[in-house]
Amino acid sequence: MSAHPVTPSAGPYPRYSVVGPVYNEATGLPEFYERTRAVLDSLGEPWELILVNDCSRDKSLEVMRRLAEADPRVKVIDFARNFGHQIAVTAGMDFARGDALVIIDTDLQDPPETIRALVEKWREGYEVVYAVRKTRPGETWFKLMTAKLFYRVIYRITDVDIPLDTGDFRLMDRRVVDAVTRMREHNRFIRGLTSWVGFRQTGVLYDRDARKYGSTNYPLRKMMKLAWDAVTGFSFFPLRLAIYAAGILFVLSVLAIPIVALLRLATGVQYLEGQATAVTIILLVASFQFLFFFVMGQYLARIYDEVRGRPLYIVADTFGFPGASGGQPGHRAVSAPPDSEAVASSPH
């Protein structure tokens, strides 16, 4: 049984869209294209490969243009500046027209051959098929530890079941793509958004490869930002922490007064004496207060981001999309709302 009919909609839409964000991947891109093409060709249905140049500083754009010129199924979105991995993926999703969409890193850490297993599950009827990392060679001890901790904390404190040890490498059905692209929140955690929409979801195990060329573009700063986007986007737990801290400090302070007094009466020794104690306690409590200022600030900044209502990204140029305008999001009416970036990115 196939839950997804072969020709579900009119129009020359490809069956599969593969979206790959690109930031300084010039050396690896030809191999990425070759391996992805081989896999997609073997599926026997029309496909498109959408590469989003997140303002690379190397020759990535040149390589992408060459690929697009040689193969009309390759399409390129060129950002006006670096907007980050999650936004690059979002742009690719806006422009994609396939019945199934695959998000994949272009640094060959997500082996393109795994797409076959994702598609198999989709053909069985699942709307979201995420790739779960069985092994992760070539990562630092620090990255492995922080990633493990991150996924488990997110799992515990968020209201949606975001699967463990799963990156953005996944396949989504058109209905899921439409639902996710309709959510225009700025600080995006795409893994969370795809879990949040529901539908039938499943995972397939894969061995993540070490990075073959170049080095990671996710320094600690960007990982922290992603972690906060995940937490603030899907949980209010950090805000609730303040009440626990308040409760504990209150109980301690209520207990401290009689205890200190009784000890003084019983032993004659003055406990909690002097400036040192007072200074320590003040610093401790002040540090808690600033911590919660920070937590509130994280939520507040994100509210401000939404209120400004800026577009998620600005497109400088596109190559390989049909139509005189060079291609705009919303080839399928529902995939991009009329007030989306199409306006901001239209040719000047």
- Which 95-124 positions form the footprint of ligand UDP (CB under 6 A)? 105-107, 109
- Per the listing, tokens 């490969």 go with 49
Stretch in the footprint of ligand UDP (CB under 6 A) among 83-91, 124-132, 253-261, 297-305: 83-91
Q: How far apart are CA 141 and CA 125, in angstroms?
A: 38
Task: Considering the complex, state which of residue 85 and residue 121 has its C-beta at the smaller distance from ligand UDP.
Answer: 85
Residue 82 in contact with ligand UDP, rule: CB under 6 A = yes
Pair of tokens at residue 50? 């959408």
**Minimal distance in Å, beta carbon 55 to ligand UDP?**
8
Question: Would you give the binding string for ligand UDP spanning residues 8-47, x where CB under 6 A is met?
Answer: -------------xxx-x----------------------
- Give the footprint of Mg ion on this chain (CB under 5 A): 107, 109
Residue 213 in contact with ligand UDP, rule: CB under 6 A = no
**Minimal distance in Å, beta carbon 211 to Mg ion?**
5
Q: By three-state DSSP, how is residue 20 classified?
A: strand
Residue 7 backbone phi and psi in degrees, to 5: -125, 80
Task: Considering the complex, state which of residue 91 and residue 100 has its C-beta at the smaller distance from ligand UDP.
Answer: 91
Contact (Cβ atoms closer than 8 angstroms) between residue 24 and residue 56: yes
Task: Considering the complex, state which of residue 75 and residue 85 has its C-beta at the smaller distance from ligand UDP.
Answer: 85
Residue 94 in contact with ligand UDP, rule: CB under 6 A = no
Contact (Cβ atoms closer than 8 angstroms) between residue 202 and residue 258: no
Stretch in the footprint of ligand UDP (CB under 6 A) among 40-48, 213-221, 242-250, 323-331: 213-221
* Class of residue 81 by CB neighbours under 10 A (exposed 0-12, middle 13-18, buried 19+): exposed
Q: Where are the alpha helices (DSSP H) in 268-347?
A: 274-308, 341-345
**Minimal distance in Å, beta carbon 32 to ligand UDP?**
9
Contact (Cβ atoms closer than 8 angstroms) between residue 239 and residue 296: yes
* Class of residue 67 by CB neighbours under 10 A (exposed 0-12, middle 13-18, buried 19+): buried
> Beta-carbon neighbour count of residue 109 at 10 Å?
21
DSSP 305-320: HHHHT--S--EEEEES
- Residue from 85, 121, 133, 188 that binds ligand UDP (CB under 6 A)? 85
Task: Considering the complex, state which of residue 90 and residue 109 has its C-beta at the smaller distance from Mg ion.
Answer: 109
H/E stretch holding 193: helix 190-196
Which option in Mg ion, ligand UDP, none does residue 217 bind, with CB closer than 5 to 8 A by kind?
ligand UDP
Q: Which residues bind ligand UDP (CB under 6 A)?
A: 21-23, 25, 54, 82, 84-85, 88, 105-107, 109, 216-218
